[in-house]
Structure 1
Amino acid sequence: MSFARRFGHVFPRRPHSVWFALATGILVTLAVAAGVLGPVLALVGSTIGAVPLAPFPYAAVTITVIAGYALAAGLLALILRIRNGPLAWILAVAAVVAALIVSVYPLFPLATAATDTAGDAIPVVVDWVNRVRALLP
């Protein structure tokens, strides 16, 4: 006889839906990290490598991505504390949405940095066009 039954402590078992929600949340969050965050970071890295003077906030993006994935991990860990299937699925979906949002987030500072760099380059290009036009008959 188990310790819990011997002393009158009987805890209800978790429904299978809670375990399925946890497993699905973990797998989809890992898929988002590999399928979305990986290519986004590769795009950001290649763009910053091509335009090294672009003002990109590395620290802010890093902290945001780490905090977002920590939030997703916390939501998934919270599933272990509950015994309600629908609530477990809500937490799993919230974890995946949080992971998806912070995976796409680095594109916004990159777009802002690229716009600032393009804004600085436009007067130079216009000046070159005017010089070439002045040389033509």
Structure 2
Amino acid sequence: MARDKPLTRPIGLISGESPTREKHNVPAIHHLPTNTHIIDSTPIAKFLEAHTPPHPPSNLLARRHHRVTGTLCRRPKFRASVVPREINILSLRSQEYFRRTREAALGRKLEDCLMRRRRAGRLSVRE
């Protein structure tokens, strides 16, 4: 749904006057638990660093991990056909990490996964 007006409202804070007297937007937050109003990026960043936990809640981490790894862990046919080819689009440093972690997860070399599918005639790979 498109909105004609931005989702902002005045919170009673006065920012520094603009030298050009033009109206402009300044970031501002209202922290409900402490009823604190903060304006400007640097104070907001410092406040959030001090008042937010250092890591996401464990249930959020579990859901994210399940979503990311679920496809690869529970669908071996998908994993065997897609994962070995993805290394070709990565930088050299990323390829080293990708190869090490995926080969450990698959239990074999990435090339072996592709060769097996080529022999079965199920994969056409441009050489």
TM-score, normalization: structure 2? 0.26
Higher helix share: 1
TM-score, normalization: structure 1? 0.25
Structure with the larger RCO, 1 or 2 (CA within 8 Å, 6+ apart): 1
Higher strand share: 2
